[in-house]
Amino acid sequence: MLKVDGITVCYGKIPAVRNVSLEVEEGELVTLIGANGAGKTTTLRAISGMLPLATGSITFRGQPIGNSSARNVLAMGIAHCPEGRRVFPQLTVRENLEMGAYLRKDRDGIARDLERIYDKFPRLKERLHQAAGTLSGGEQQMLAIARALMSRPKMVLFDEPSLGLAPNLVERTFEIVLEIRREGTTVLMVEQNALAALELCDRSYLLETGQVVEHGTGSAMLENPHIQKAYLGG
Ligand code: ATP
């Protein structure tokens, strides 16, 4: 479904991601793991059209998307749920959700999806008219996920959705990611907690200093001695 082929992405002249290739099949939950600064966020931002490619190509459902605008990538069905939540703080919860659907014209479909979101995230329903900036961290994370779903994506890119959340909310966030996948949406997720990322996923890629150094099924990666030593506490 998504094919990233040998991409290099630079900030100025300095490459943050070098010759990275990865694939995500329809219906899969794939994770990207690696230490701080390994290039995980940069890879997601290149996929969603926020950063240009210095080399390589990206295709989604057979169509080239490398170097497309973020708007085009969203229109093709990839929603990005960024690190640090990034909700619109001055807008209400409801307005944030509507922003997620800004490319859609099907008013009835949007209304139905809002109802579905309220079922899935009852806390958001209780706070529809509250400014998003006044929500708790966990609530903002739920809103960021819900907003991404409002575009009715075929694939969601999650960037560390559990970052900074209390343990019970981390678990809830992972449950929601699994639910989204069960409902048929393909997921590519950056996650720094390697154990959680490998237990949840179908397959995973490990990035080190901007390059893919290991990839495989979650269970194979859990058994990998290098990963055990460096990322799973031995
Ligand atoms: P983290 O888990 O800490 O978010 P990451 O794996 O997502 O790490 P990236 O954010 O992709 O890593 O960063 C990869 C490299 O690119 C790092 O060396 C980082 O310092 C550099 N980098 C990231 N953003 C910028 C930027 N806007 N300008 C310059 N360098 C950047």
In tens, the pLDDT along 126-161 reads 999 999 999 988 889 899 999 999 999 999 999 999
CA dihedral defined by 24, 26, 29, 31, rounded to 10 degrees?
10
Q: DSSP assignment, residue 36?
A: T
Residue 43 has pLDDT above 90, yes or no: yes
Quote the DSSP letter at residue 133: G
Alpha-carbon span 101 to 88, nearest angstrom: 14
34 CB less than 6 Å from ligand 1? yes
Does an H or E element contain 98, and which? helix 93-100
Residue 16 Cβ inside 6 Å of ligand 1? The answer reads: yes
pLDDT of residue 192: 86
Asked if pLDDT for residue 84 goes beyond 80, the answer is: no
Average pLDDT on 1-16 reads 96
- Residue 182, amino acid: R
Q: What is the pTM of this model?
A: 0.93
Atom index in ligand 1 nearest the CA of residue 41 equals 7
Kindly tell me if the per-residue pLDDT of 185 is higher than 90.
Answer: yes
pLDDT exceeds cutoff 80 at 234: no
Model confidence band, residue 168 (pLDDT cutoffs 50, 70, 90): confident
